[in-house]
Each structure stands twice: as structure tokens, then as C-alpha cells.
Structure 1
Amino acid sequence: MNYAVESLKKHEEWKGKIEVICRTPLNTRDDLSLAYTPGVAQPCLEIQKDINKSYTLTRRSNLVAVITDGTAVLGLGDIGPEAGMPVMEGKCALFKAFGDVDAFPLCIRSKDVDEIVNTISLLGGSFGGINLEDISAPRCFEIEQKLKKRLDIPVFHDDQHGTAIVVAAGIINALKLVNKKMEDAKIVINGAGSAGISICKLLLQLRAGDVILVDKLGALAPGQDWMNPEQANMAEVTNNEQKTGSLAEIMEGRDIFIGVSAPGIVTKEMVASMADNAIVFAMANPTPEIMPDLALEAGAAVVGTGRSDFPNQINNVLAFPGIFRGALDVRASDINEEMKIAAAKAIASYIPDEKLAKDYIIPSALDRGVAAAVAKAVAKAANDSGVARI
């Protein structure tokens, strides 16, 4: 199937992938009086007395805003907020299909960090959670950090944390297959933007050994004057030997390669230079850093990509519906590190050890049971870490 051609036809036919459904009957005068005036005044007054009742007397308890400024849409770059709407609608559809979470797309016509933060903050009382999407780095870090300080509902940048959670789950299982330990693993992450940095942070939380981040100008190391502030911070807690150099040089002897960067930049020779039983997650879309068959031919033991037409697809849909389902179920005020780790471990453990194989280290993106397992683990972690409110 030519997905570009067929998708365009379908979008013209669908005229949007989501719609609002009425949950109350509106067939009689009494129906109207209960759902709207005069009866609706009473729940309004109850919420005025106790704002927490907005969660029980409205749909807020199950409503997430999916928000972009259109600056980093898929692999298309800065195409504008309206052009990002098909992706935001798609994300909302996935929320509903996999987590039974009602999600609403909001596309903001601004690239100003404070303006975006203020806009979302002012709308916060309408939602139970905020999912940030397709916002360029390093602005996405600042927007998320500022929103977390201003809002008392979960704020989650999926490009960062959803990707990191699913990658971590895959790495946990891949390491089991090759009989290596996380704390001993030497890892290289190519692409030091929002996804790469978040993957790095989560792997460090999971006690990964030596992690080196590589960007277009080389390895992140203290003193490199081309790094942005977020990259400079990461350079202080990674790259134990303070190595510098190109991706090819850094990959030598590494146990794990994780790519969130650009197509075709890894060769068979680079994979062959890695440690024995190497793990390669080449996730650039639609064309990965190296095609899976080439990585396997070069000696990689386990290979994952972002594509659905190869085994071991690293797909965020394994994470965000269940994460928000669990957070909403306990009315969490935050999605913290404990909840992210719980989600990663839940995705990994969804596959029993005896069923792990080189082409099956991560559940199918279409497996509806994953979200429920993630939600349960996330809700428990929220309770254990003190951010659950019910």
C-alpha cells in the first residue's frame, strides 16, 4: 500500500479522526433541564465550593489535552500548528483506542516559551493531564519544566518520556537475551535532542553503566562549546572517560547503540566494531540509521527500529495510553520518575522470560493488554511515591 496516497484519501474522507460524543440523553424536557439549565447550576455551585469536585461532576477526570506548537512534527520539522493537527488527532485516537482516555488536540500559534506556558496554564483547569507533543528542543525541556511548576496535573512530553520508556523496556529484555547486565552495559545514543536526552536520563535511573551521547558535532563531553545548556548538563553526568570524536569512533566496543537521529548514518563496519552480542536500536523514521538486515549481517544480536514492518518496533503507543490511564485513575498530580520506571518495567515484563527471542523483545503495538498492565503499575507507583490523590 502507498500509505501517503491512501492516508490522504482517508483523511479527506474522515474529515477528522475524532469527534465529541454526548454521554447524556437529550430527548425530553427533563433531560434538557438536568443536563443544562436549570439543573446544571447545582454542580456548578458544588465545584465553586470544592474545586476537586470538577473531577467527579465533569469529564475532567478522563480528559487529556494533546498540545503542540508545530515546530517538530514527526520528521517534518517546523511545519506550523495547523499542519500538526493530523498528528495530534491521531494521538487522541490512540489515547481512546488503547487507554479509553478522552483526549483533545490543541495547536498553539506561538513559538514563545512563556506564551505557550501561560496559555496551557490558563487552560489547565479543564483537563486531568497535559500531553506535550512535537515541540522542538531545547524549548520543549523548558516548557515542560515550567508547566510542572505551575500545574497540579500531570504534564508529560511524549517525544521525550514515552520514547525513553519504550526504549528502556526493550533494552531490559534485550540485555536478558544477550546475558549482560544494565550496570555493565556500554551505551552510545546518537541524537542529543529531546528523545536522546530523555532516553539517557531514564537509562541512568535504571543504573546503566557508561552512556555516551553523540550529536552532529560529535560526542558530548565537558568543555565542548557547541553544546546547548541541556546537552552541557548531560555531559557532566555521562561519558565516564570523557571521550570525544565521531560516532564511528564512539561505537567501537560499545554493547548498545540507540539511534534517534538520521537515516543511513550507521554502516555495517560500525556495527561490526561493537562488542560481541551487540544490541542495535536504530529508530530514525521512516528510514533508520541502519536497516535491520544489515545490522544483523554485521553481527548485531538484537535489532529494534521505529518501523512497523520489522520485528521489535519501538512504538510510543505501548507507553502513553497506559501511563495516563494509571495517572488519571489515581488523580496523580505528576508523572514522576518512579512512574516512568514502573511503566518501562511493566512493558518489559509483559513478555515472560521464556518467550523472549531476538525478534520478540517488545510487545506488539496493537496488543490492547499492554496499556492495562502499564496503568496498573503506574497507579501503584503514583501511590507509593505520594503523588496519587485518590
Structure 2
Amino acid sequence: MSRDFEFVRRNGRRVVRVAARGRDVLNNPMINFGTAFTTEQRESLGLTGLMPSAVVGMEAQLRRVYRQYSHEPTDLAKYIYLSTMQDRNETLFYRLLTENIEEMLPIVYTPTIGKAIQEYSHWYHKPRGVYLNIDHPEDIVNSLQADGRGADDIDLIVVTDSEGILGIGDQGVGGVAITVGKLSVYTAAAGIHPHRVLPVVLDTGTDNLDLLNDPGYLGIRHARVRGEEYDQFVRSFVDAVTECFPHALLHWEDFAAGNAHRILARYRDEICTFNDDIQGTAGVVVAALLSAVRTTRSRLEDHRIVIHGAGTAGVGIANLLVDVMVSEGMTRAEATRHFWGLSSHGLLIEGGRQRDFQAPFARPRNEVDNWKLDVPGEYRLADVIRNVQPTILIGTSAQAGAFTRPIVTDMAAHCERPIIMPLSNPTARAEALPSDLLDWTDGAALIATGSPFEPVVHNDVTYNIAQANNALIFPGIGLGVITSLASRVTDTMIAAAAAAVASAVTDRRPGASLLPTMTQLRSISARVAVAVAEVAEKEGLAGRELTTPIQEVYDNMWQPVYPEVEVI
């Protein structure tokens, strides 16, 4: 038990046992109910006289805070308002977020959180999370245990080293905000208990010269540490997590491409771990692709797939698609031949410049020797489209406008229903706009994007644009792992999560979205969790037997309502 409180279930009811008194109650966001405390609770908790006399319940509180939120002048101001609210009254914060998830998700998560991270050192007001310093690795264990939570008190840890934040790169210590935001979505979407999670930033320095020269910067003021010292720091962190919180799912977030794949490969068979940029992105994109393929009444094996931006996210998508194709009867070698990946150096070609994780998707040199090229010796996107005639085009390049009209019309000339997914965030980095894609293909394109877009009207048909938002996938994966006490996260679980999301889409009318809307997030997360938990059992990785998975997943979802209070 925490020194001040603990949460328990008693006869199916949620109860918080509170030992704190007075301002210690009001200063703790997990047990501060504000004006909703009853007169009796105020008296027994030593709160009489510390707040206005009226007892105002959650519904009235929600109206007040939503009105205040709506009056904030900018998205960043709205983010900061919600952040301070989370630091004041966590239950009310999550109730507000849950009831307005479609409106507020772009504020607490991408794209607004990118701006908040860039300005973190200037709006910082209260620490939230654990800050681990590479110059003092001896402090890791003490830092993880600093708030007094024990081995069975943490279900989920989200960690970043801040080098690959969204589409804005190295953001130093400010990346801690992405871990806080990610955990907020885990709770709002899947009911992961907010007191059983831990945000962590590995501060290994920064190569961002703007930050290093900013007198207000709050992180370590030196260049990023790399190589053996970095790897040992990560090793020490993993060992400390295993020691302190042996049952926790460890979620890696926004590491640079090379480190992300390397770290996941290093630890995925050793601990229960997951990388959302690789596996979560792959899961939601595969869900959209499965939905699109069903719409065209085709099979994955019928498609030629070009991935523009074959980095962490792009190769993650390709790998999961290969797994799905193999499960449908293809060999891995056959499935891999359906992909053409482009990095910053152009098409991945055997013997060319590429990272280890990209190598399986490099095309044979003799395949491209006779290609017609715009510039001899350079294999760029337009060349690939012309020579491959793909049916699926995926953008994870962060190159705004990369899917030009000539490229799209060339693709559409050889494909009746081109599947086009400009996934890069934020909106300013999207490879194309949905309105342009529909215009250039006369409404034929099946589209999913990384950022939210308003519906597009074309030829009197309203097209609802699917947002391939990882929030449709990762919260449910976390809930499924936690509910089943899974010891590992496998590719089969990710594929099952993708299939669960795709199966929730039943509307195939012209203009229908390829993915569920954010308003369905809570139920989608539960559906994903059940699928993941069932795979964990089937693969022998579950730490508990689930007799009624649907009920057990539902029972494991924390609800943002004030619990009963037991004063101790």
C-alpha cells in the first residue's frame, strides 16, 4: 500500500482506502475528487474549510471543466490545460477525455503533443514520470522505486530516449511528455489503471543544438551518448525494470530507427516488451489494409506493395504483412517478393545502402537493371511506380507532398481501386491530402491517413477518411497482455489485434471509412484485448487461465468514476 492510499475491489465494488488528510488529499490527483467530496468525506478527511462549501458532483464538474477547456485559445493551451487538470484530479481528467475522446485525442496525443514536447522546458510546471540520467546509471533502481510502488504495483511502463519523436526528431528530455501522453491513451481507451503505470525518459543527452543552446533546457547538456555506453545504459534499465516490476509490460516509444529495431530484437524474447512505432503502427496499418482488401474483394497475395519510407514504421508494416501472408499459405520468401521499399537513398536494392532490418526487402539487382529511370542510376518513387505498377502505396517518409499527381495518376492507370496511405505525422508532413487523392483518382482511391482529416465530398459522395491511428491498436494490446499476464508479446498477437480492428468495420458503402472511428475506441480496445489474450493462452504465454475472456477483460478496465472512500 502507498503511504497515503490504496485501491481495492470489495464485492465487485471499487474502493479507495485513504490514510492521507487535509491538503495531502487535495494535492494527490489520484484521490482528489475536488468539490465532489461529500460533507461527511470532507469531515473525516480533514478537508472542511479547504474548499468551497457546495458539494458538486462529477457531471457538474465535467460541464465546468469542458467549458474552461473550450475557452483556451490554441491547441497547445488546451494541452497545457488538460495536463494541469491531470495533475489536479486524475479521475475527472480521464472522464472528460473518455467522453470527448475524438475531440481531445489530437490534443493529448498526436499532433498537438509534438508542439508541447518542443516547448517542454518552457511550459514545464510539475514533474510527471521518472527521469533517468545516463551520467548516473547507478541511480536507476532508486529512481524507479522513488514513489514507493512495489513489485506488484506496476502493470505498464512506457519509455523513450526521445531521439525519434513523431516527425520532429531529437527532443531531449522533453520526450517524457510522449510517454505521459501515451499512457493517457492507454487509460482512456483501454482502462489501464492510471496508478499502475509509469512514464520514463532515458536522458542520454541530445544532438539538438537549439536545445543545447537554450538556457532554460531541463535535460543533460551534452551530445547524445552512443555505442557501448548507450547499450549498457539500456541493459541496466531493462535489468532494473525486471528487478523492480517483474510483471510489467515494457513499451518502447520514439527511439530512432536503428536503435528501435535493435533494442526490440535484443529484448523481445527475454522480457514482455513491445515497440509501438514498429508493431503498433504495423498493426493499425495492416488493419486498414485488410479492410481495404476486403472492400476490393481481393486477397493480399494479389497485391504489389510499395512502401515509401522503409524505416522503423515502414519495415514494421512490411514484416507484419509478411506474417499475415504466411498465415494465409504463402512462404516467407514468396510474401517478401510482394514489397518494394524506398529509404532516403531510393529503392532498397541488394548490395546498396541499407540497415540490417531493411535487408530482407532489398530487390535483386538484376530485377531493376532494365528499368526505365528518370535519372540514370537513381531509383526514386516515380520510377518504382512506373515499373512496378503497384496496387498499394504506403507513405511513412515524413516527406510532405511526396505522392504527387503524376505518381498517383500513373498508379491509378494500372489499378482500378488503388489503396493509398499517406501516414506521416503531423499533417504538414503527409505525403498527400485525401482531397487530392480522390480528385486525381476520380474517387477510386481507398485511403487511410496518419493524421485526422475532415470528410471529403467528391461527386456528391461523402468520403470518411480512415485515420490509421495507433490508438486503435496499442491500448488493447496492453489490456490483453495485462489481463492474461502474458510473458511475451508475439507477432501473432499483433496480427490478431489487427484482424480484430479490421473485423469491426462492416460498412462497405462508397465513402465508408476503412477503420473504426475514435468514438468506438473503448469497445475496439476491449475487442483487441480479447483477441490478444486468447492468442497468449493458445501460445502458452498466459500467466493465468481465462475462463470468460470477455468478462475478464471488461472487469479489468478501470472506469473513470469516483470510487467509494474508506477513511483509515
TM-score, normalized by length of structure 2? 0.58
Query: Matched residues in 1 for 2:445 and 2:365: separation?
Result: 24
Partner of residue 300 from structure 2, selected from 182, 203, 212: 182
SS in 2 for 1:59: coil
**1:176-214 deviations in whole A, cap 9, x for unaligned?**
112321011000011111101100001111215611111
* Runs (4+) off by over 4 Å: 1-4, 15-21, 238-244, 354-357
Q: CA deviation at 1:73?
A: 1.0
| Residue of structure 1 in register with 2:63 after alignment | none
| Residue of structure 2 in register with 1:324 after alignment | 478
Query: Matched residues in 1 for 2:83 and 2:422: separation?
Result: 33
Answer yes or no: is 1:383 the counterpart of 2:540: no
Answer yes or no: is 1:282 the counterpart of 2:426: no
Answer yes or no: is 1:371 the counterpart of 2:515: no
| Residue of structure 1 in register with 2:126 after alignment | none
**1:6-53 deviations in whole A, cap 9, x for unaligned?**
3454267447599699xxxxxxxxxxxxxxxxxxxxxxxxxxxxxxxx
Answer yes or no: is 1:230 the counterpart of 2:366: no
Identify if the C-alpha distance between structure 1 residues 124 and 20 changes in structure 2 by more than 3 Å, giving closer, same or farther.
farther
Query: Matched residues in 2 for 1:330 and 1:13: separation?
Result: 34
Conservation of the 8 A alpha-carbon contact between 2:340 and 2:361: no
Structure 1 residues without counterparts, runs of 5 or longer: 22-55
| Residue of structure 1 in register with 2:65 after alignment | none
Conservation of the 8 A alpha-carbon contact between 1:326 and 1:375: yes
List aligned pairs for 1:296-375, cutoff 5 A.
Answer: 296-299=438-441, 300-310=444-454, 311-352=465-506, 354-355=507-508, 357-367=510-520, 368-375=522-529
Q: CA deviation at 1:239?
A: 10
SS in 1 for 2:431: coil
Query: Matched residues in 2 for 1:16 and 1:175: separation?
Result: 44
- Count of residue pairs brought into register by the alignment: 348
Which deviates more from structure 2 when the two are superposed, residues 200-209 or residues 137-146?
200-209
Answer yes or no: is 1:78 the counterpart of 2:170: yes
State the one-letter code of the partner of 1:66. V
Query: Matched residues in 1 for 2:74 and 2:339: separation?
Result: 37
Query: Matched residues in 2 for 1:203 and 1:356: separation?
Result: 25
**1:79-121 deviations in whole A, cap 9, x for unaligned?**
11x2112221111111111112142110012251331132123
Answer yes or no: is 1:291 the counterpart of 2:433: yes
**1:265-319 deviations in whole A, cap 9, x for unaligned?**
1101101111221010001112310111111111142111111234200000100
TM-score, normalized by length of structure 1? 0.82
SS in 2 for 1:101: coil
Partner of residue 93 from structure 1, selected from 175, 184, 203: 184
| Residue of structure 2 in register with 1:109 after alignment | 203
Q: CA deviation at 1:263?
A: 1.3
State the one-letter code of the partner of 1:128. A
| Residue of structure 2 in register with 1:206 after alignment | 324
State the one-letter code of the partner of 1:134. D
Q: CA deviation at 1:4?
A: 4.3
Identify if the C-alpha distance between structure 1 residues 241 and 169 changes in structure 2 by more than 3 Å, giving closer, same or farther.
farther
Identity %: 28
Query: Matched residues in 2 for 1:136 and 1:292: separation?
Result: 28
Which deviates more from structure 2 when the two are superposed, residues 319-328 or residues 125-134?
125-134
SS in 2 for 1:107: strand
**1:125-179 deviations in whole A, cap 9, x for unaligned?**
415200100100111111112222442xx20000110000000000011111123
Q: CA deviation at 1:66?
A: 0.4
Query: Matched residues in 2 for 1:141 and 1:13: separation?
Result: 34
Conservation of the 8 A alpha-carbon contact between 1:177 and 1:357: no
State the one-letter code of the partner of 1:99. A
| Residue of structure 2 in register with 1:247 after alignment | 381
| Residue of structure 1 in register with 2:5 after alignment | none
| Residue of structure 2 in register with 1:216 after alignment | 344
Answer yes or no: is 1:266 the counterpart of 2:396: no
Q: CA deviation at 1:389?
A: 2.1
Conservation of the 8 A alpha-carbon contact between 1:322 and 1:370: yes
Conservation of the 8 A alpha-carbon contact between 1:117 and 1:143: no
Q: CA deviation at 1:5?
A: 3.8
SS in 2 for 1:83: helix
Conservation of the 8 A alpha-carbon contact between 2:350 and 2:365: no
Identify if the C-alpha distance between structure 1 residues 190 and 240 changes in structure 2 by more than 3 Å, giving closer, same or farther.
farther
Query: Matched residues in 2 for 1:337 and 1:363: separation?
Result: 22
Query: Matched residues in 2 for 1:180 and 1:169: separation?
Result: 15
Conservation of the 8 A alpha-carbon contact between 1:304 and 1:312: yes
Query: Matched residues in 2 for 1:335 and 1:189: separation?
Result: 25
**1:248-271 deviations in whole A, cap 9, x for unaligned?**
111231100010112111101101
Q: Aligned Cα RMSD in Å?
A: 2.6
Query: Matched residues in 1 for 2:448 and 2:160: separation?
Result: 28
Partner of residue 58 from structure 1, selected from 152, 162, 165: 152
